[in-house]
Structure 1
Amino acid sequence: MRFSHEPARMSSIELTSSQRAILTALVNLYTEREEAVKGEDIAAEVDRNPGTIRNQMQSLKALQLVEGVPGPKGGYKPTSNAYKALDVQQLDSAAEVPVTHDGEEVDANVEEISLTSVHHPDLCRAEIHLRGSVRDFHEGDHVVVGPTPLSKLVVEGDVDGKDDTNNVLILKIDRMEAPAEQPAH
């Protein structure tokens, strides 16, 4: 998990919103399963036709963002360039930061928490960047994020918006809490 944007190292690659959505879905599914991902699974994730996915994969292969895996267990795998193009940190064992959606823990991990509009006296929002789909989240749903590994930060609020392409939830914060550290004796 990270708390600030790092400059993208692959800024020379401009992806269309469709390519970005497909690549994001591939990275999320690959991270979840740790095996090649079938085009049909990506198609279901981004709500597109499998033929469209196959066509897009050709251009993503040409950009060296995806590699094809032949055979019955085949599919697609993201290259390290894919993670760079999406500005996603590739960690061997990312710290787990739980996400609860309307009281149920979901299979997603928090990649970044950005606080926005903290200067506003009555309204504070947080952008929650997930490694996992935000498709099942809807405006008004209650979400609890955390605790984070180091500070034990917990952010709680209601979904105020979302960005499906970049897997971002925008929360209207109800509560934010990080327990104070005990002084050393």
Structure 2
Amino acid sequence: MVTIDLTSSQRAILTALVNGYQGEESPVPAKTIAETIDREPRTVRNQMSSLNSLGLVEGVPGPHGGYEPTDAAYDILDRRPVDNPETAVLAREFDRVDAVVDGITFTNVHHPELCRARIRFQESVQTLGEGDAIAIGAIPHVGLLIAGEIEAVEPSRNHVLLNVARLETPGS
């Protein structure tokens, strides 16, 4: 397997592209990506040229054109394209939002007093911030409910590091 090292800017652009494409399933214009990551459209287009040469994106010409991620883009971001994703309810400050959770990894299960989880979403996490209290669940087919306070947000990877305050499973 070939390893491609992306700059933080390239990773942010590619993540925004995949998020936008999964939401709409149509080409994502450079302007939309630029607004998402707070960059100029010209900067996005310049980076897209290098991402295209790496085989991570394809340009779609025309008035409804833009960019589409390739399978390699999903691989490099360690994501999988999902045709009909199951959503979990994400509640932040009592506001409910449907979100697609791509994965949950418990990072320190052996610690007697502290439980942390790294949660990967298929949407942008830029609206979430450190210190936000969130609850996720129940996760479809599993019934897992997880709640806590956000310790860190990694927007370029759609990751949130959560200090878990409550964890429930069916029957618990």
TM-score bucket (shorter structure): over 0.9
Distance 1:115 1:136, change over 3 A: same
Displacement of 1:87: 1.3
TM-score, reference length from structure 2: 0.94
Q: Is residue 109 of structure 2 the alignment partner of residue 125 of structure 1?
A: no
**In structure 1, how many angstroms separate the alpha carbons of the residues matched to 2:86 and 2:135?**
17
Q: Is residue 61 of structure 2 the alignment partner of residue 70 of structure 1?
A: yes
Q: Is residue 28 of structure 2 the alignment partner of residue 42 of structure 1?
A: no
- For each residue in 1:38-91, what CA deviation from the matched residue of structure 2 results, as whole angstroms up to 9, or x when unmatched? 101101111111111000000011111111111111111111111111111122
Displacement of 1:107: 4.7
Give 4+ residue runs of structure 1 displaced > 6 Å after superposition.
none
User: Is residue 87–residue 98 contact of structure 2 (8 Å, CA) maintained in 1?
Assistant: no
Q: Which residue does the alignment assign to 1:83?
A: 74
1:152-167 correspondence to structure 2 within 5 Å:
152-167=143-158
**In structure 2, how many angstroms separate the alpha carbons of the residues matched to 1:151 and 1:114?**
15
State the AA in 2 paired with 1:159: I
Displacement of 1:98: 2.3
**In structure 1, how many angstroms separate the alpha carbons of the residues matched to 2:107 and 2:71?**
30
Displacement of 1:150: 2.1
Q: Which residue does the alignment assign to 1:151?
A: 142
State the AA in 2 paired with 1:82: A
**In structure 1, how many angstroms separate the alpha carbons of the residues matched to 2:11 and 2:81?**
17
Q: Which residue does the alignment assign to 1:3?
A: none
State the AA in 2 paired with 1:164: P
User: Is residue 137–residue 143 contact of structure 2 (8 Å, CA) maintained in 1?
Assistant: yes
Aligned residue for 1:106, secondary structure, equals: strand
Displacement of 1:11: 4.3
Name the stretch that deviates more: 104-113 or 39-48.
104-113
State the AA in 1 paired with 2:86: A
**In structure 1, how many angstroms separate the alpha carbons of the residues matched to 2:53 and 2:2?**
17
> Can you give the 5+ residue segments of structure 2 that lack an aligned partner in the other structure?
none
Q: Which residue does the alignment assign to 1:14?
A: 5
**In structure 1, how many angstroms separate the alpha carbons of the residues matched to 2:98 and 2:58?**
25
Aligned residue for 2:142, secondary structure, equals: coil
Displacement of 1:15: 1.4
**In structure 2, how many angstroms separate the alpha carbons of the residues matched to 1:115 and 1:37?**
33
Aligned residues: 172
TM-score, reference length from structure 1: 0.88
> Can you give the 5+ residue segments of structure 1 that lack an aligned partner in the other structure?
1-9
Name the stretch that deviates more: 143-152 or 153-162.
143-152
**In structure 2, how many angstroms separate the alpha carbons of the residues matched to 1:44 and 1:67?**
20
State the AA in 2 paired with 1:99: L
**In structure 1, how many angstroms separate the alpha carbons of the residues matched to 2:151 and 2:78?**
24
User: Is residue 138–residue 145 contact of structure 2 (8 Å, CA) maintained in 1?
Assistant: yes
Give the alignment's Cα RMSD to 1 decimal. 1.4
Aligned residue for 2:88, secondary structure, equals: coil
